A and B are shown apart, each in its own frame.
Chain A
Amino acid sequence: MLLELKDVHVHYGKIEALKGVSLEVGEGEIVSLIGGNGAGKTTTLKTISGLRSCSAGSVFFEGADIGSMPGHRRVLAGIGQAPEGRGIFPGMSVHENLLMGAYARKDDHTKELAEAYELFPRLAERRTQAAGTMSGGEQQMLAIGRALLSKPKVLLLDEPSMGLAPMLVQQIFSIIEEINRRGTTILLVEQNAQQALRLAHRAYVLETGRIVRSAPASELLDDPQVRAAYLGGDVGGDPGAAAAASGPESVALSKPAKGGPAKGEPAKGEPAKGEAEPADDAEPDGADAPDGE
């Protein structure tokens, strides 16, 4: 296994965010981690990248326990991340942002730089623009491109579809697939379960700090319980083509995480529309797109 979490517990003060999470990511895989708000998806990623330390349990990377390794060393070890809310450096230009991705590397990074520009031609057009003035989608591209510059063995992606228009979501996901095809292992955290499950080989379902399901992605995609909780149910048949509902609407699979249906706006039966509407205006000029807060 390339990456392995064994019974990881993480606390924020007295609140236990992860209550014994174990998961494995094998080399070359795309593994997806789905779950509602507050389930602990982001915390899991932060624990892997070293931004959070676990209070119990251990994290193994290429067989070595990296539990006590600081985050900036894990980058060199081969863990790259595009953080939640994109986490780009707003005052730096696109190019400077990409170069920050190679900050820790001593060797030549021209190949990865060219690759990032090739995967995201949009970034090449905006090379000298301040990253903070770009739209949400472009910032997401930048975050992924920047992570690639550290030449990661495993790439951690935290909600790459957040706040993006359906078209753009499709595009980003196909690029993720391409990155994986070129040999980078991917651990994908998503609320957009539909898309994530189609892309991934395997998936874990996280609920209030625990892994409740673990199966090949296609199996979860057909699972009625998972469908009901995360895929907008079977109400309208296959909500499919459009980037579908993210928030759990009908609750079947035990209790969803706190604030599950917080988004509120998609009424039952029209998940696709409900999601597409706010995302649409995030695309063309999304400087005011909802950045992760």
Chain B
Amino acid sequence: MSDNTNKTANTAGLRGALSGPLEAVRTHWDRAPGWERWAVYVLLVIGALFLPYQGLAPAMSPESDWQTILFYPIGIYVLLALGLNVVIGYAGMLDLGYVAFWAIGAYTMATMAVKHGIGFWPLLPCGIVLAAVSGVILGAPTLRLRGDYLAIVTLGFGEIVRKVAENTDWLGGTRGVNNIPHPPSHEGVWFLGVDLFTYKIRDARPYYYLLVALIILVVIFSKRLEASRIGRSWTAIREDEDAAEIMGVPTFKFKLLSFATGAAIGGSAGVVFAAKTSYVAPANFPFLLSATILAAVVLGGAGNIPGVIVGAFLVAWLPERFRGLADYRDLAFGAILVAMMIFRPEGLIPSRQRKAEMAEGGGGMGHMGAEIDTSGSEAEVGSR
């Protein structure tokens, strides 16, 4: 018993040590004037632009091509994690099949470009819309479910999309689709030694910059949503769905919206991915990837954009960085995740509100956690 209390105290102490300086930064940031914030934003963007610098490569990724892994997995993971954050972080719904929306975006680009010769730029909005629509199609019948039940259904959806791609000849079956055209190039716009709009196979940097642009757009979009009436209703749904409904929040509609928004962001990542790699196959979209993106969101701090970005970066980068450890890297990665959940269960850079939710005992994950509807949700699932 006393041993147990000791342990708890220890853990708490370590947590405190970890969060102390970070808290100070957070408090400062919350009070920071507008110009200071903008300065930091600009610096961050400049940092992102200089990231592909070859001089960083030996330190960041001795084993593989730094510029390539900056696009995939790092950039793609960040974009996907931002999309999943809208579903998990804002509305608190556990989606285990998120990779399906990425796949839908990628296959939109692949099939339409190869079979119908449509270009990248018209297909980008197409992929986004198609993914959003599939999000609505999945959500409409399933969003009555909560928590674990929703998780299982979305998991199934992810697998269905992959299996359909595997077994449809029109989509290339297991071999996938080859020779997907790159985006059209406009040569001669040089920036930091990169021919910025020349999308060829060799140089990954223009694609990376395309991703950076998308990520910035998504961040602005998410931030605006978070602060809006929609964002507030998502928070209410996450914290107590029944209470939200009796406050007059049309919960079903807003859950659907969150699903569609997340799906749309995933779709955009898919289109860019297919255009860069010029090859997609069902094997690119395993369940494991959904789980990895989920890990990125939770590890970083669901609901908080800087946290989610850092989480996705680490989850994508660490295994590449320690490629030399061969198979042990997965073990090490797993150990890091477990350690994180013990010492910082709310994530690396959690949203303050979520911390309060966790402290209250709701698990801080909204309907993601073990929250069980008090009045017999099991029976309800059966009846619906």
Tell me the A residues contacting B by CB distance below 8 Å. Answer: 11-15, 42-43, 46, 49-52, 70-76, 80-81, 83-85, 87-92, 100-101, 103-105, 130, 132-133, 146, 150, 287, 291-293
The reply to whether B240 and A89 form a contact with Cβ atoms under 8 Å apart is yes
Cα A293 to Cα B377 in complex, Å, equals 13
Q: What are 8 of the A-B contact pairs (CB < 8 Å)? A: A12-B383, A72-B249, A76-B248, A81-B246, A89-B235, A89-B236, A92-B353, A132-B356
- Please indicate the chain B residues that have their CB under 8 angstroms from the CB of A88 in the complex: 240, 243
Out of B233, B246, B353, B361, name the residue touching A49 (CB < 8 Å): B246
Chain B CB within 10 A, most for which of A13, A73, A100: A100
Residue of B nearest to A143 (CB): B243
The reply to whether B357 and A150 form a contact with Cβ atoms under 8 Å apart is no
Cα A96 to Cα B28 in complex, Å, equals 22
The reply to whether A11 and B247 form a contact with Cβ atoms under 8 Å apart is no
User: What is the predominant secondary structure among interface residues of chain B facing chain A?
Assistant: helix
Distance from B247 Cβ to chain A, minimum over Cβ atoms (Å): 5
A51-B242, A72-B247, A130-B353 given; name 16 further pairs at CB < 8 Å. A11-B383, A13-B378, A72-B245, A72-B246, A83-B242, A85-B374, A87-B242, A90-B357, A90-B360, A101-B247, A103-B233, A104-B247, A105-B248, A133-B360, A291-B361, A293-B374
Out of B233, B243, B359, name the residue touching A83 (CB < 8 Å): B243
A-B contact count (CB 8 A): 119
Out of A15, A43, A87, A287, name the residue touching B243 (CB < 8 Å): A87
- Please indicate the chain B residues that have their CB under 8 angstroms from the CB of A292 in the complex: 374
Is B376 positioned at the interface, with any CB of A under 8 Å from its CB? Answer: yes
The reply to whether A71 and B246 form a contact with Cβ atoms under 8 Å apart is yes
Out of A11, A92, A101, name the residue touching B239 (CB < 8 Å): A92
Given A132-B357, A133-B356, check contact A89 B239 (CB 8 Å).
Answer: yes
Is B258 positioned at the interface, with any CB of A under 8 Å from its CB? Answer: no
Distance from B244 Cβ to chain A, minimum over Cβ atoms (Å): 8
Is B367 positioned at the interface, with any CB of A under 8 Å from its CB? Answer: no
The reply to whether B360 and A132 form a contact with Cβ atoms under 8 Å apart is yes
Is B250 positioned at the interface, with any CB of A under 8 Å from its CB? Answer: yes
- Please indicate the chain B residues that have their CB under 8 angstroms from the CB of A133 in the complex: 356, 359-360
- Please indicate the chain A residues that have their CB under 8 angstroms from the CB of B246 in the complex: 49-51, 71-72, 74-75, 80-81, 83, 87
Chain A CB within 10 A, most for which of B243, B250, B353, B383: B243
